Amino acid sequence: MTLAGVEQRVLDAVGRGEARLLDDLRALVRIPSVVGQEGPCQAAVRRMLEDLGLTVHAFEPVLEEVRRHHAYVEVPWSYEGRPNVIGMLRGHGGGRSLILNGHVDVVSPEPVDAWSVDPWGAVERDGRIYGRGALDMKAGIAAILGAVRAIRDAGVSLRGDLHVHSVIEEEAGGGGGTLACFLKGYTADALIIAEPGGVAVAHAGVLYFRVRVTGKTAHAGQAHTGVNAIGKMHAIYDALIELDGRRAAEHRFELFERSVGRSCHLNIGAHRAGDWPSTVAGWAVMECRISFVPGERMEDVRREVEAVIAKAAAADPWLAEHPPVVEWFGWHGDPWVQDEGHPLVQTVRDAVESVTGQPAPVHGKAAGMDTRFAMYFGMPALSYGPGGERTHGLDEYVERESVIRCAKVLALSALRWCGVA
């Protein structure tokens, strides 16, 4: 049989397995797996991989090992009961190996009462499957499973090894997930992560920071004797908003502009202050996220933020004497760019065009992804996954047909990259 005939046989097998693929997706969505609580969902993925006849390994990350890598992001949870799960489909030799990667962790669905459906219900309406993680990214995992199942059901043997990585903690930096897998030796000749959306070959760098301002407490009946930290924080807030606008104008990266219309952002995501209505607020804290583009250095971005805050403080007599404290915490990720001309990118773009009949332009994402870890291990990488809307938002959904389409693209990509025995 010609290669084209083999590919068609696999695509037909994806179609025949559509019901099973969607059942897997619904089953995964119905298992709550907020980041830090991924164990039960990983147990389900392990059973699914074993049912496919893959050789399956699972391991819990060792904190002392993963935190040695400079890209590791600290998290507040233990790794006990939170394994990464690896499925291996061994090739016959002479081909290139490939990792298909997905994360089971999801962000909180709160406020749950604002959803129109149960966020853990996997409700289907009008060709959409709703639920927290339905799009980001349990649909990607289901598509990976569907692609591997189709290759097996079609009786096709690959030349190169095909790996399936189901990982934890992507939403909190990925240190205990994809990075831990690579540090454990589970690497390959290329990496595809089934994150939602088209062919993504770049993403922004990301840093989290908090700003602490100290005021002077006093009884509300003598408020004129105190210094309200809430008001003092306003100057810092305004300075950061101005910095956000200036950076957006000065730092442009075409792949990001192509997808979201803007390359970098500074977001003030949390603002807390004081603890009693009858007390002048003696403290205020803001927590922020800043992104940066390829070509910028992490240390330069940190210095820029700190300089802006120091300048704003110097203009206020109280803050000049009681300077704000800047703390860098949590997520710290470098920007990542994959050469568009690499054979992996062309392989996946060709697979998309074969399945859809449409060209597959590449783009970048203004958010961090686990693809960045590949560059530390000499692997080409990209992301490609199903379509939908409302990632991290209310009534998140994935388009049913896009999950099937993704499975077909991943299956063709595996055939063409790994080779057929």
* pLDDT one-digit tens code per residue, 180-218: 999 999 999 999 999 999 999 999 999 999 999 999 999
Domain ranges of the chain: 3-203+335-418, 212-333
Q: How many CB atoms within 10 Å of residue 230?
A: 16
**CA 77 to CA 91: how far, in whole Å?**
37
For the residues 269-286, what does the mean pLDDT come to?
Answer: 97
What percent of the chain clears pLDDT 70, i.e. is strictly above it? 99
Q: Residue 53 gets which letter from DSSP?
A: T
Q: In CATH, what class is 212-333?
A: alpha beta
CA dihedral 388, 392, 394, 395 (to 10 degrees): 30
Q: CB within 8 A of 364, min separation 6: which ones?
A: 200, 201, 202, 203, 204, 253, 255, 256, 258, 259, 337
Contact 170, 38 (CB under 8 A): no
Query: Among residues 159, 44, 174, 208, which one has the least CA distance to residue 105?
Result: 174
pTM: 0.93
Nearest to 206 by CA among 43, 90, 371: 371
Cα-to-chain-centroid distance, residue 329: 18
| Residue 366 confidence (pLDDT) above 90 | no
Instruction: Specify the pLDDT at position 52.
Output: 96
| Widest CA span in the chain | 88
**Is 257 or 21 the better-scoring residue by pLDDT?**
21
- Backbone φ and ψ of 2, nearest 5°: -70, 165
**Residue 229: which residues within 8 A CB-CB, separation 6 or more?**
213, 214, 215, 273, 274, 281, 282, 283, 284
Q: What CATH number should be reported for the domain whose range is 3-203+335-418?
A: 3.40.630.10
Q: Which amino acid is at 314?
A: A
- Give per-residue pLDDT as tens, 301-333: 999 999 999 999 999 999 999 999 999 999 999
Give pLDDT, residue 4. Answer: 81
- pLDDT tens by residue, 375-420: 999 999 999 999 999 999 999 999 999 999 999 999 999 999 999 9
Question: Closest by alpha carbon to 69, among 146, 161, 175?
Answer: 175
- On the 0-12 / 13-18 / 19+ scale of CB atoms within 10 A, 78 is exposed
Burial of 189 per CB tally in 10 Å (0-12, 13-18, 19+): middle
Mean pLDDT of 250-261: 88
Q: In the predicted model, is pLDDT for residue 1 greater than 80?
A: no
Is the CB of residue 188 less than 8 Å from the CB of residue 380? Answer: no
Provide mean pLDDT across the span 10-36: 97
- Give the model's pLDDT for residue 183: 98
CB-based burial label for 57 (10 Å; 0-12, 13-18, 19+):
middle
